[in-house]
A and B are shown apart, each in its own frame.
Chain A
Amino acid sequence: MALVTAWWNRVKSAHSVWRLTRLYTGLLLSVVAILLVVLYQLSIGQMNRQQQLQMANIIAQQTLLAEQLTTAQFVEQFELQAQSSRQYILSYQTKQQSIGRLSEAPTLPQCPTLSRFPIWLDQYDEIRLVSGCAQPLGSGTLIVAVDDESLYELKAQFISASAIALCLAILLGLITGLIFSKRVLKRINGFNQVALQVEAGHLSARVAVSEQNDEYDHMASHINTMLSQLQHSFETIAGITDAIAHDLRTPLSHLRQQMESEILDKQLENLPTEQLESMLHKLDEILFTFSSMLELTRLQQQREDNSQNFTNVNLQQVIIDAVDLIEPLAEEKQQLVTLQLPSPLSLQGDATLLFRAIYNLLENASKYAGVNAQIEARLTPNGFIISDNGPGISDSEKEKVFQRLYRIEKSRGVAGFGLGLTLVKAIIQLHSGTIELLDNKPGLAVQITFSD
């Protein structure tokens, strides 16, 4: 029962086509029902009305005669009328005698309300069910009945035929619904699947185009063209940045070597080297940014190609190692780092990359949460959460922080390149995981969830 309810709720909310099918089935049923009612009224209903009209005529006629004739004359004409009437069974019952076709007076409601009662046909040795009513007339009661067994049988047959027709209408509606659901939803689901793949970073995913050349195919080719342009733009941007980073890295590395030897020379000559060291530090930052950008491209490439080499990773150990490494940095700012590891969690992945992601998140927390902040690393049944009680990130900026080289306005004073969270997201996505920025009230909680 619970399964059926769950299935119904899912169907009810999920498919617009199914909703249309239900509407269509409802309309189909209504049309069939209206047709059946009209048909009934024009056939059986009409016969019923005619019968009732004729019975009312007989009653009116006999009432008039009872008023105008003497009792003996009335009885005489009634006997003749009862004998001659084939379709209607007439009987007049007084306390003393029973005139007409029936031997006894059955208990009946007053006309025009009809009631069914049995009568015995001695010549055929059978019982018939007839409809009739009683009308007080003079000193007795007039009974008018009609043998409507065949009409009742017709009515029963009509009702069963109507039930079959309605069942067939439901069946037809459901079959149409299933065909609609399977054929149309299959194609719509194809669009959804591609959208999900693109959302997950697989920019090369394309919608299948059939040979039918219908509206869906037109839409599919438009979406595919749009995706190709999007992919091309992304590749161009990534290619340019990568080319710049790659081309500049070698000369910058040479420059670094020269500066290092220059510093050594100056130190030997006991000359001041502060300016050169400051320049070296800035050069290191530029080199770090370049290598991060190249790393990011490599990660995204790996995800596209599915070329990663994963091993079994103990996430609990990785978190402990990352916390160990961040602790000296946190101590400098009098920050408290706590670990919550309720149960071990292992997954297929790259331990080095996962360590980098976790360390990066801890480093971010330490960097932006401020002095005396509390940082917590907590393992969950299917991932982990790194949280702090610092200033947090506003809702409007939560999505933007994952963009390459994006930096929040208020964090510009803190050293960084706007690549940390972009790299973390790339690593998590490589591990089929999701990253979500939540409000820790106060502070920020970064929730990582792995799908398997």
Chain B
Amino acid sequence: MKCTKLICIALAFTPLAAFADKEDDALATLALQRANFSLEQAVDKVTTDYAKHIVEFEIDDHNNQATYEIEAVNLKAEEKHKIELSLTDGSVLKHKTKNSLSRLDDEDLLALQELQASNFNLSTTIAQLKQKYAADVIEFELESKKGITFYKFKLMGEQGLTRVIVDVTTGKVIPVMKR
């Protein structure tokens, strides 16, 4: 009985959740359009000041202020950084460091090793994607599946939401299968 109730509640909230996601994406796009400090600049700042390998990015808020939330890994020092940068001036609003990579699984480590071995330039790729799709990168993540390491980008433009997968080793876009 309790289960049935839970299922009903879950079903009732599902469209709302989807709506909330879309709202978040729209807010993120709006924040990016108003930003004085670009994502490419934020990526360059993190790679120069903290760690070379960026594994995740999304738009977050810190005290009602939109931020670039970037996670980066320093393989050599075995450190994981979580940095929040201001979209306005690129100032560091929050910084957390973990001195262990024990939480990373084998696929994550493989992804980082492949990224280290490649000549992949993240900020150049972001700039190219923005131009090619006429959209803003609102989210990305480094992943490795079936021996292929790639960045999974989420772009938002006039066409709506676009998913772009870029192979780290070749630098080429992996085609997305349409439904």
Chain A positions near chain B (C-beta within 8 angstroms): 89, 91, 100-107, 117-123, 126-129
Contacts and interface: CB of A to CB of B under 8 A. Distances in A.
B163 A126 contact: no
Classify chain B: how many residues form its interface, as a range.
Answer: 10 to 19
Contacts of A117: 174-175
Contacts of A105: 175
Interface in B131-179: 145-146, 148, 150, 152, 163, 165, 167, 172-179
A104 B178 contact: no
B10 to A, nearest CB: 20
B172 A103 contact: no
Given A118-B146, A118-B167, A120-B163, A127 B174 contact: yes
Given A118-B146, A119-B175, 12 more contacts: A102-B177, A103-B176, A103-B178, A104-B173, A104-B174, A106-B174, A107-B172, A117-B174, A117-B175, A119-B174, A122-B176, A126-B145
A106 B175 contact: yes
Contacts of A106: 172, 174-175
Q: Which of A89, A107, A127 has the most CB of B within 10 A?
A: A127
A126 B167 CA distance: 14
A120 B176 contact: yes
A122 B163 contact: yes
A120 B179 contact: no
Contact of A104 (B145, B150, B152, B175): B175
Nearest to B144: A127
B177 A101 contact: yes
Contacts of B146: 118, 127, 129
A127 to B, nearest CB: 5
10 contacts: A101-B177, A102-B176, A103-B176, A106-B175, A107-B172, A118-B174, A119-B175, A122-B179, A126-B145, A127-B150
Nearest to B163: A122
A104 B133 CA distance: 12
Contacts of A107: 172
Contacts of A102: 175-178
